[in-house]
Structure 1
Amino acid sequence: MAGFLDNFRWPECECVDWGERRNTVASVVAGVLFFTGWWVMIDAAVTYPGQEQMNHAFHTCGVFSTIAFFMINSVSNGQVRGDTYGEGCFGRTGARLWVFIGFMMMFGCLIGAIWILFGAYVTQEKKLAPGLAVFFQNAFIFFSTLIYKFGRTEDLWG
């Protein structure tokens, strides 16, 4: 099965040169996803203000997911590979550990949002909208992190 897609090439659209716009498109898409995640959660918090409708502790997943977003994207891919960063307190190992902790926090928030959705709303037969808001907030922040981290090139200004 290895090598099954080695010779496959995606059709290239020659009408748009994505090489020069890749950073811009990735940043805009990631920003829109991040904004949408928080917008969904703020809308749910305003629509369901009571503690019995939506527990205020459920906002914790989104806050920690946002912290993980900044943790992951504060380290460049070159620092993780060791291309541009070799000195300092921890060097390449510290950068890798920082990104690893950020991803573990991000995955934990996403799993926690799924647990909140099913544990607090689906099994209790309550309205699903607040639980879906918690899940979609964390899913949108997760995907915005991936797009921003891996969708850009290293040379941001050139």
Structure 2
Amino acid sequence: MAGFLDNSAGLSASAMDWGERRNTVASIGAGVLFFSGWWIMIDAAVTYPEQEQMNHAFHTCGVFSTIAFFMINAVSNGQVRGDTYGEAVWDAQGPALVVPGFMMMFGSLIASIWILFGAYVVPKKEVAPGLAVFFQNAFIFFSTLIYKFGRTEDLWG
């Protein structure tokens, strides 16, 4: 039984060929994180339906994170680098969506931390709804990063 992992070079990350699968893995990983974030928030909304338990205005952070996700990923990486300028409408205005998108994304993440501590930790209430708001925004944030920067080239081009 000793040494049964001696010939397991295929298990290391450096031995795997990510060339053709990198876009697929990044897209699936980002989708799972995005779905998990919304699933956590929907579960918290069902578990804590009363306004006193979880303020309904706290859903705004997740909505703005989702809008920012689409704003950031609507622009291809080639357009951000300046490789693919042409005659299309999005070629000139497309990169202008990335900066406001990241500002919305960071703002939503900071607001979710503020909600967690300001509405739940400091008043010594049950923390689970605040954690749901935070984890929703954190998961959407990381799914945006994985989808935007985890791919080698655009999926459509």
Tell me how far apart the structure 1 counterparts of residues 96 and 47 of structure 2 sit (CA, whole Å).
39
TM-superposed CA distance for 1:89, in Å, is: 5.6
Match of 2:76 in 1: 76
- Deviation for aligned residue 1:96: 2.5
CA distance in 2 between counterparts of 1:64 and 1:39 reads 16
Q: Assess if the C-alpha contact under 8 Å between 2:76 and 2:154 holds in 1.
A: no
Q: Deviation digits for residues 15-62 of structure 1, max 9, x if unmatched? A: x31111000000000000000000000000000000000000000000
**What do the CA deviations read for 1:93-149 (whole angstroms, capped 9, x no partner)?**
x32221000000000000000000000000111000000000000000000000000
**Which residue in the other structure is 1:101 paired with?**
100
Write the letter of the residue equivalent to 1:17: D
Gaps (5+ residues) in structure 1? 1-10
RMSD (Å), alpha carbons: 1.8
Q: Describe the shift of the 1:12–1:141 C-alpha distance in structure 2 as closer, same or farther (beyond 3 A).
A: closer
Over 3 Å counting, the alpha-carbon distance change for 1:98 and 1:140 in structure 2 is: same
Corresponding residue number in structure 2 for 1:5: none
Alignment of 1:1-40 (within 5 A): 13-14=14-15, 16-40=16-40
Shift, 1:86, TM fit = 3.9
> Normalised by the size of structure 1, how large is the TM-score?
0.86
Give the whole-Å Cα distance in 2 for the aligned partners of 1:84 and 1:152.
17
Asked if the contact 2:79/2:94 (under 8 Å) is kept, the reply is yes
| Structure 2 CA distance for aligned equivalents of residues 52 and 38 of structure 1 | 21
Label 1:45 to 1:155 Cα distance change in 2 as closer, same or farther (>3 A): closer
